[in-house]
Amino acid sequence: MKVLVTNDDGIFAEGIYKLAKKLSEKFDVYVVAPDRQRSATGHAITMHHPLRVNKVKFFDTDILAWAVNGTPTDCVKLGIEAILDIKPDIIISGINDGPNLGTDVLYSGTVSAAIEGAIHGFKSLAISMVSKKDIDYDFGADFSLKIAEKLLEKELPNNTLLNINIPDCSRQEVKGIKVTTLGIRRYKNSFIKRIDPRGQEYYWLGGEIVKEIQNESSDIACVEDNYISITPIHFDLTKFEAIEEIKKWDLKSI
């Protein structure tokens, strides 16, 4: 079996190294990932400057790897359409340094890379570690291998991928696995204004998460309770329940 691995933290991030190395125990692994940190790029693609690809030595492994000066979505598109002469059986994005929960998936380069895989018809998953310190990437890699093997055995509905978050606790403290919905994650943003050495204003985005009551079936609630969350998501954003209501708006009068 062949696996295309990517991420948004960059090709030399620890998470992608541990992931690819573990997967290589069972699969043929190919890495196509950004040449630098590209977190929170969403589903952006590069259209206004050339995409440059460099084959690189991937840490202490013999895994074939390419660094791209583009986004995670660029990496998946290039991987399956230009770089690789094989078609992967599965596309895995991660392991992300930090969570990708709730509505944050709309900003996530990690999740968007997996979405791009699903758009092209490949089984795809994104995996993230909720912890931001002392991250046990080995645990994340072990789980990634197991869920990848399970996904290759099973079928998902069309246009569907899996978004996985591993809670901020030791592997011994993990209570289990839950299949979840996306929660709601909002931020109280604050833009910090500063002046550069040339006297020009610039801004840094800061802020904090707004604490909200989450549905107990949500990914946010589950990881807070030390469960691994697996959320099936798809990229059809249509709100079907609203279609008939909007049809009543007498749109001909506009």
Kindly state whether residue 174 falls inside one of the protein's structural domains.
yes
| Mean pLDDT to the nearest integer, 165-176 | 96
d(CA 92, CA 59): 19
Kindly state whether residue 246 falls inside one of the protein's structural domains.
no
Kindly state whether residue 178 falls inside one of the protein's structural domains.
yes
Q: Which residue has the tokens 């990932």?
A: 33
Kindly state whether residue 51 falls inside one of the protein's structural domains.
yes
Kindly state whether residue 92 falls inside one of the protein's structural domains.
yes
Kindly state whether residue 98 falls inside one of the protein's structural domains.
yes
What is the DSSP code string of 52-78? Answer: -EEEE--TTS--EEEEESS-HHHHHHH
Query: Tell me, what CATH number does 145's domain have?
Result: 3.40.1210.10
Provide, rounded to the nearest whole percent, the portion of the chain with pLDDT above 90: 87
Binding residues: 8-9, 39, 96
Confidence of residue 168 (pLDDT cuts 50, 70, 90): very high
In this prediction, residue 185 carries a pLDDT of: 86
Kindly state whether residue 73 falls inside one of the protein's structural domains.
yes
| Number of compact structural domains in the chain | 1
Provide, rounded to the nearest whole percent, the portion of the chain with pLDDT above 70: 100
Binding residues for a divalent metal cation: 8-9, 39, 96
Asked if residues 89 and 123 have their Cβ atoms less than 8 Å apart, the reply is yes
| Mean pLDDT to the nearest integer, 158-181 | 96
Over the stretch 97-122, which tens digit does the pLDDT of each residue have? 999 999 999 999 999 999 999 999 99
Kindly state whether residue 86 falls inside one of the protein's structural domains.
yes
Domain of 176 in residue numbering reads as 2-182+215-238
d(CA 7, CA 92): 8
Asked if residues 35 and 71 have their Cβ atoms less than 8 Å apart, the reply is no
56's CB contacts (< 8 A; 6+ apart) are 11, 65, 66, 67
Q: What does pTM read for this prediction?
A: 0.94
Confidence of residue 252 (pLDDT cuts 50, 70, 90): confident
